[in-house]
Amino acid sequence: MTDMIIESLSKVTQAYGMISAFALIGVTMWVSYWLSAKLTKGRLHGSAIAIFFGLLLAYIGGVTTGGQKGLVDIPLLSGLGILGGAMLRDFAIAATAFGVNVDELKEAGLAGVLSLFVGVGTSFIAGVAVALAFGYTDAVSLTTIGAGAVTYIVGPVTGAAIGASSEVMALSIAAGLVKAIVAMVATPFVARYIGLDNPRTAVIFGGLVGTSSGVAGGLAATDPKLVPYGCLTAAFYTAIGCLLGPSLLFLVTRAIFG
């Protein structure tokens, strides 16, 4: 009897994968917000707890399926491959721009623009420093890993343009993912201390941190109304990184390290 129920459930979830994925995420969000209210009295936002659960499930899925596609390889959860794919992710990031109040965006002014270049520069330098610490000395590897610290999108784009190895590009993606995770988890805790409570500071924050997923997750856990402002500059941040990575930043790195 149990086998028949599981088989029927498996058929339904595979036939309606998107709906099943929405159901799983809906339950995860409900549990996360319940835990936030009951255990932390709202001090730790439900979105931050949901992000933690998502990372935990991704780890469990990777271990269970041998590290291929994670939860997507489990038939009951195959719909997550569509819902969590790049297309819907990028659509969600772009859609946040429609929540922006242009007048409030203008208030960021020059500081918002400068934050983009400061954010890209400091992230790149930090990535290069870590690469040097792990023994990489050639300009191509240093630039690629440094670009990965900018975002996990900029890293492989830069690496492909300047001829980096697949191993180095994988490391650049890993660097960007670590940065995104740290941004997601840490933002709610530091927001109060850095004045991250209005659109202007959200614009500057998005320009400094840059990684779209990290900024979106972190601001959602802090104040959902700030997400559009942070994500708008984060999108520009990625574009600037993709332009500067294989050009100016590579030339400067090669001039210094040969």
90/194 Cα distance (integer angstroms): 28
Residue 156 has pLDDT above 80, yes or no: yes
pLDDT of 208 above 60: yes
The model's pTM: 0.68
Q: Is the pLDDT of residue 93 over 60?
A: no
| Each residue's pLDDT tens digit, 173-188 | 888 878 887 888 888 8
What is the Cα–Cα distance from 80 to 18, expressed in whole angstroms?
A: 7
Output the average pLDDT for the chain. Answer: 79
pLDDT at 89 over 80: no
For the chain, what are the domain ranges? 2-85, 99-257
Name the least confident of 106-120, 127-141, 236-250: 106-120
Per-residue pLDDT tens over the stretch 28-87: 889 888 887 888 776 666 766 777 787 777 777 777 777 666 677 776 676 777 776 666
pLDDT bin (cut points 50, 70, 90) of residue 127 is: very high
Is the per-residue pLDDT at 107 higher than 80?
Answer: no
Say yes or no to pLDDT of 125 above 90.
yes
CB atoms within 10 A of CB 121: 13
Chain centroid to Cα 30, Å, comes to 22
